């Protein structure tokens, strides 16, 4: 959204206050001044980028400034441009924000007009800058208090306060998981996204290398490694390492750069102490791309050596000392990284694209163990995005994970995938063994702890489930799905007020995260706050694109709140749809539970189990009204649950 107004500059910050609107002539004059400056003298791409977005915004088309259109219009890409693979727009936007900041710090610090970008948007902001004499300068809190006492600009102040609260929620609550007075764990590390120094289209390579190093270090017992989601928020930023250490509650940070071209790769890495900014270790590697796995192992080994024996349990065997990777086909490695890139985007279409890349990697290098792990992970993820159940895909999960372990018996991720497959077949003891073995080998896997939390909940071990969910969030403190999983774990314990607080913290990170809105709505419904619960569930359904689970929960909420006609309409839609395509029977059962029709609910739960699904009988509060029925106990026994 474009804004106009004056600003008070205090130190390095700029605060907007209402003022007369800026006309297009003033903005174009400022643009011309910036383009003729020394700062913008040479970067032609950024000059063109800045000119284009300003022109579009002044023409009233700011809402059309999307990544795809910018790639074509501002950077000359053709219609085959795929922003998922070619990151030129994101990379140049990051560079442009940094160059604009540099301009206003130096040549433009006295300019009366500011053209700026907010991270996450390609639309520019226009506003005036008003410098106050130092004699009347006040700290921000005094300035705001004076405005409040005067009763002026209260709407603007309220908006700023809300924005500050959101920022605080995002940056303070998630990172403060251990508590304000908890000392930073010495055996802790964050791997910051490695900087891509090659072609923009190779951004997936630097991102993938970062992810692989996170996974590699996550296999070291005793070493706490921050998860991928949390470190990637710092991509393209220039925060002081000590500040990053405070935000992530880590003692050390690994950062570096990578350039990949012509079958070779050059990697520079350094390890820094966040308590004082001192460098602990640094190294450069210039090798053939086929040796990339060996380079990753060398970096991981160097990190553990630099941290010292006090940081890692010397009695625990690590993957680094039990397996030596061989060479990997360079093209297969790049296909693997592309597969991981799409898998991390976590939608049905992207997971299917990831499968194609993993299969290509395997075809090019049948002995590449990690490609099989990636393929198994895709099959585990598919049921969340389609009609297949995990039991349907269990043979494919088992085949891929087993092959990975034949090639490398120490891959914890493969054991975690096997745990999912066994759980879908109600082989709980085998699943338990695989999950424990997987976390023994990969103790720093946030995903593994999250999966294990869900598994324990299925067994009715709710306190243990909550502990694992909390561990997952500690490892990946700004992961939306990890934050939501903790909320679910607390919800299952029937601690509804605590669950509401957790889901609200999750939504503070992203108000449009549909799963958290859906779960928050269900908590309100369980508390009998039907109006508020329905509102959240309806919003979640819109955000999730009429997702079937959200539709089922809306039907349940309508039913239990007494809106039977609305509930039956959704129920009949499901029943009609089930006549010509597969619908998960548990969705129908849930609406019948809300309607109080126990016979129909139990009948559809039975059908769900027969179809290979695994309804959450032991843990979900919505089934509490059925627990005394002997038929429900038979369903629990059929699933071989303890």
**CATH number of the domain encompassing residue 480:** 1.25.40.10
Q: What is the pLDDT of residue 392?
A: 87
- Report yes or no on 117 lying in a domain: yes
Q: What is the rounded average pLDDT of the residues 412-436?
A: 95
Q: Report yes or no on whether pTM surpasses 0.85.
A: no
How many degrees, rounded to 5, is the angle at CA 142 between CA 140 and CA 143?
Answer: 65
- Report yes or no on 31 lying in a domain: yes
Q: What is the pLDDT of residue 312?
A: 42
Q: What is the rounded average pLDDT of the residues 197-221?
A: 78
Residues 109 and 207 in one domain: no
Percent with pLDDT over 70 in the chain: 79
Percent with pLDDT over 90 in the chain: 35
Q: What is the pLDDT of residue 149?
A: 35
Residues 530 and 467 in one domain: yes
278, 294, 321 - which closes a domain: 321
Higher pLDDT, residue 174 or 346: 346
Residues 125 and 67 in one domain: yes
* Of the candidate ranges 5-9, 468-472, 586-590, the one whose mean pLDDT is the lowest: 5-9
**Can you tell me the distance from the alpha carbon of 28 to that of 2, in angstroms, rounded to the nearest whole number?**
15
What CATH number corresponds to the domain at position 274?
3.40.50.10610
**Can you tell me the distance from the alpha carbon of 505 to that of 179, in angstroms, rounded to the nearest whole number?**
15
Higher pLDDT, residue 300 or 600: 600
Q: What is the rounded average pLDDT of the residues 345-354?
A: 77
**Is the Cβ–Cβ distance between 396 and 368 less than 8 Å?**
no
Q: What is the pLDDT of residue 210?
A: 84
**Highest mean pLDDT of the ranges 72-86, 131-145, 289-303, 412-426:** 412-426
321, 342, 367 - which closes a domain: 321
Higher pLDDT, residue 603 or 41: 603
Higher pLDDT, residue 71 or 446: 446
The secondary structure of residue 287, as a DSSP letter, is E
Residues 361 and 379 in one domain: yes
C-alpha distances (whole Å) from 474 to each of 174, 224, 351, 397, 466 are 8, 9, 26, 28, 12
Tokens matching residue 244:
């990053």
Write down the mean pLDDT value for the chain. 79
Total of domains in the chain: 5
Q: What is the pLDDT of residue 562?
A: 95
Residues 193 and 132 in one domain: no
Residues 15 and 124 in one domain: yes
Residues 285 and 378 in one domain: no
- Report yes or no on 311 lying in a domain: yes
Q: Is the pLDDT of residue 624 over 80?
A: yes
Coil, strand, or helix at residue 117? strand
Q: What backbone torsions phi and psi does residue 41 show, to the nearest 5 degrees?
A: -70, -40
- Report yes or no on 211 lying in a domain: yes
Higher pLDDT, residue 473 or 201: 473
* Of the candidate ranges 5-9, 321-325, 451-455, the one whose mean pLDDT is the lowest: 5-9
Residues 55 and 111 in one domain: yes
Q: What is the pLDDT of residue 449?
A: 95
- Report yes or no on 173 lying in a domain: no
Write out the residue range of the structural domain in which residue 426 sits: 332-562
Residue 283, phi-psi category: left (phi > 0), alpha (psi -120 to 50), beta (remainder): beta
For 500, half-sphere exposure in the C-beta direction (CA atoms, 13 angstrom radius) is 13
**What would the pLDDT profile of 427-444 be if each residue is shown by its tens digit?**
999 999 999 999 999 888
**Is the Cβ–Cβ distance between 399 and 409 less than 8 Å?**
no
Residues 308 and 195 in one domain: yes
Q: What is the pLDDT of residue 164?
A: 29
**What would the pLDDT profile of 531-543 be if each residue is shown by its tens digit?**
999 999 999 998 8
C-alpha distances (whole Å) from 291 to each of 112, 294, 326 are 54, 5, 8
The secondary structure of residue 288, as a DSSP letter, is E
| Residue length of the chain | 642
145 pLDDT tier (thresholds 50, 70, 90)? very low
Residues 111 and 157 in one domain: no
Residues 109 and 257 in one domain: no
- Report yes or no on 327 lying in a domain: no
Higher pLDDT, residue 192 or 554: 554
498, 533, 562 - which closes a domain: 562
Q: What is the pLDDT of residue 395?
A: 94
- Report yes or no on 163 lying in a domain: yes
Tokens matching residue 380:
């585990």
Q: What is the pLDDT of residue 552?
A: 94
- Report yes or no on 176 lying in a domain: no
Residues 63 and 78 in one domain: yes
Best CA proximity match to 94, nearest among 213, 193, 209: 193
């Amino acid at each position: 959204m474009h804004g106009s107004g004056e600003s008070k500059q205090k130190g390095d910050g700029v605060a907007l206050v209402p003022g007369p609107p800026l006309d297009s002539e003033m903005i174009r004059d400022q643009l011309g001044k910036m383009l003729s400056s020394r700062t913008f003298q040479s970067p032609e791409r950024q000059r063109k980028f800045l000119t284009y977005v300003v022109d579009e915004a002044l023409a009233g088309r700011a809402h059309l400034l999307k990544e795809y259109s910018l790639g074509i219009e501002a950077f000359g890409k053709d219609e085959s441009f795929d922003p998922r693979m070619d990151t030129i727009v994101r990379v140049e936007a990051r560079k442009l924000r940094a160059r604009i900041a540099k301009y206003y710090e130096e040549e433009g610090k006295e300019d009366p007009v500011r053209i700026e970008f907010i991270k996450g948007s390609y639309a520019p902001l226009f506003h005036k800058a008003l410098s106050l004499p130092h004699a009347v300068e006040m700290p921000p809190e005094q300035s705001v208090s004076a405005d409040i006492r005067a009763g002026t600009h209260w709407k603007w102040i309220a908006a700023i306060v809300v924005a500050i609260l959101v920022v605080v929620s995002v940056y303070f609550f998630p990172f403060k998981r251990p508590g304000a007075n908890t000392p930073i764990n010495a055996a802790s590390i964050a791997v910051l996204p490695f900087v891509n120094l090659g072609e923009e289209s190779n951004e997936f390579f630097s991102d993938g290398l970062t992810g692989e190093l996170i996974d590699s270090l996550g296999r070291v017992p005793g070493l706490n490694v921050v998860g991928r989601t949390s470190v990637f928020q710092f991509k393209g930023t220039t925060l002081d390492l000590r500040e990053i250490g405070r935000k992530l509650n880590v003692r050390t940070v690994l950062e570096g750069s990578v350039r990949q071209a012509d079958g070779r790769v050059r990697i520079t890495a350094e390890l820094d102490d966040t308590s004082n900014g001192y460098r602990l270790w640094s190294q450069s590697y210039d090798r053939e791309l086929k040796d990339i796995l060996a380079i990753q192992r060398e970096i991981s080994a160097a990190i553990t050596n630099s941290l010292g024996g006090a940081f890692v349990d010397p009695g625990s065997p690590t993957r680094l000392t039990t397996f030596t990777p061989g060479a990997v086909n360079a093209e297969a490695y790049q296909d693997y990284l592309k597969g991981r890139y799409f898998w991390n985007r976590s939608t049905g279409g992207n997971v299917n694209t990831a499968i194609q890349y993993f299969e290509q990697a395997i075809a090019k290098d049948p002995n590449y163990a990690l490609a099989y792990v990636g393929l198994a992970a895709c099959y585990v993820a598919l049921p969340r995005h389609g009609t297949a159940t995990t039991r349907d895909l269990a043979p494919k999960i088992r085949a891929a994970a087993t092959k990975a372990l034949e090639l490398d018996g120490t891959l914890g991720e493969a054991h975690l995938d096997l745990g999912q497959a066994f759980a879908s077949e109600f082989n709980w003891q085998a699943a338990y063994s695989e999950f424990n073995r997987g976390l023994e080998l990969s103790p720093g896997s946030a995903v593994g702890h999250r999966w294990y939390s869900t598994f324990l909940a299925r067994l009715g071990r709710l306190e243990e489930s909550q502990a694992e969910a909390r561990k997952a969030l500690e490892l990946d403190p700004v992961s939306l799905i990890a934050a939501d999983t903790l909320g679910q774990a607390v919800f299952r314990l029937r601690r509804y007020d605590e669950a509401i607080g957790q889901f609200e913290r999750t939504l503070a990170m992203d108000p449009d995260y549909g799963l958290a809105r859906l779960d928050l709505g269900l908590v309100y419904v369980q508390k009998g706050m039907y109006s508020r619960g329905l509102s959240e569930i309806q919003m979640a359904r819109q955000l999730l694109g009429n997702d079937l689970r959200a539709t089922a929960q809306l039907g349940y909420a309508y039913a239990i709140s007494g809106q039977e006609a609305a509930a039956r309409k959704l129920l009949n839609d499901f029943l009609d749809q089930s006549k010509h395509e597969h619908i998960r029977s548990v969705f129908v059962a849930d609406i019948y539970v809300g309607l109080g029709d126990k016979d129909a609910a139990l009948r559809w739960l039975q059908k769900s189990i027969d179809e290979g699904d695994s309804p959450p009988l032991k843990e979900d509060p919505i089934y509490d009204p059925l627990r005394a029925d002997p038929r429900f106990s038979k369903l629990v026994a059929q699933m071989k649950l303890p």
